[in-house]
Amino acid sequence: MNHVFIINPKAGKKDISNYIIGELNKLKDIIKYSVYITSNRNDAFLYTKKYCEEHDEATRFYACGGDGTLNEVVNGVMGFDNKQVTCYPCGSGNDFVKNFGVKEDFLDLLKLINGSEVEVDLLKVNDRYTINICNLGFDAFVADNMVKFKNKPLMNGHSAYTMAVLYSVLFKMKHKCQIFLDDEEIYDNYMLLCAVANGKCYGGGYYCAPEAKVDDGLIDFCLAKKVTRVQLFKMIKKYKQGLHLVDNKVKNFIMYKKCKKITIKAPNELIYCMDGEIAKSNKIDIIIHQRAIKFIIPQKNLDLLI
């Protein structure tokens, strides 16, 4: 089997490309591998897809970066049966691997190389596949504005995020939408945010879908209704901890369901994120593809799927 390491040098707080290459050099007698370092957005997708088209051999791709890098690699291998994917989590969030334990479990290259294959579901969101979560509303608006603030003079990542949150609290606390689950309308009103989940958490550890399983063939749908600013700050801690479904002060603002198909319509363009990748549309169609991709996890983490 070929092992292809796709490294995003911009993921995380610093470029660890040389570190990964150095660790791989120690394993050159154990595996046949190659390394590709991305240079811009969508590069991982384009490289992976082209590689799959040009190589018939069984191949495992290691997405070395964050959830966005993993998303690109996943989209690149779709449709190629003898290809596997895993993640060497060196990005800022790396939420998908938390479905199998902690990200440190995936940072031992030898254990990852000797890991086990599991089949996991994917969400198809309009024309793109999502392995973890598609979110829209308040937090997607924050993510979009963070990019804009980050390009301003004297702004770093932390200050850009703080400014994006403040801006969103002041100007965009509600989003009008009409939502259908399995072709049945279940909501037509203003919302705060919505998470359409395959995995449990996103955004660096917000457990929006504590009941989600990545191989059950079901979408976990979580919607937070329109709230006041005071209610938002009371809710956000419980939402991050995954307690929003059981906390008596919060659960009345939450709608949580499981389904196989979702359609979301809006009178105005909605900002949404797919594994952190930002897009915009007035209509979002989401379906589940059960056990659509082969994902490699460290051997000791297998029992966490049960």
pLDDT block averages, 10 residues each, the chain of length 306: 95 90 93 96 96 96 96 97 96 90 91 95 98 93 80 69 76 90 98 96 91 98 93 88 94 96 96 93 97 91 48
The whole-number pLDDT of residue 161 equals 64
Cα–Cα distance, 293 to 96 (Å, whole number): 14
Cα–Cα distance, 115 to 262 (Å, whole number): 34
Phi/psi class of residue 154: alpha, beta or left (left: φ > 0; alpha: ψ in -120 to 50)? left
Question: pTM (2 decimals)?
Answer: 0.92
The whole-number pLDDT of residue 306 equals 41
CB 238 within 8 A of CB 247: yes
Q: Does residue 97 sit in helix, strand or coil?
A: helix
The whole-number pLDDT of residue 236 equals 85
Among the residues of the chain, which ranges form H helices? 17-25, 43-54, 67-77, 109-113, 138-150, 157-171, 229-241
Q: Does residue 144 sit in helix, strand or coil?
A: helix
Cα–Cα distance, 134 to 216 (Å, whole number): 17
- Give me the residues paired with residue 295 across strands: 85, 118
Cα–Cα distance, 197 to 135 (Å, whole number): 8
Residues 6+ apart with CB under 8 A from 28: none
Q: Does residue 2 sit in helix, strand or coil?
A: strand
Cα dihedral 45/104/109/7 (nearest 10):
30
The whole-number pLDDT of residue 304 equals 47
The whole-number pLDDT of residue 208 equals 95
Cα–Cα distance, 239 to 17 (Å, whole number): 34
Q: Cα separations (Å) of 161 from 109, 133, 175, 194?
A: 32, 20, 20, 20
Cα–Cα distance, 146 to 136 (Å, whole number): 15
Q: Does residue 172 sit in helix, strand or coil?
A: coil
CB 133 within 8 A of CB 207: no
CB 206 within 8 A of CB 103: no
The whole-number pLDDT of residue 299 equals 75
Token pair 């997708």 is found at 45
Token pair 């879908």 is found at 209
Is the CA virtual torsion 41, 42, 45, 47 positive or negative?
Answer: negative
Per-residue DSSP letter, 189: E
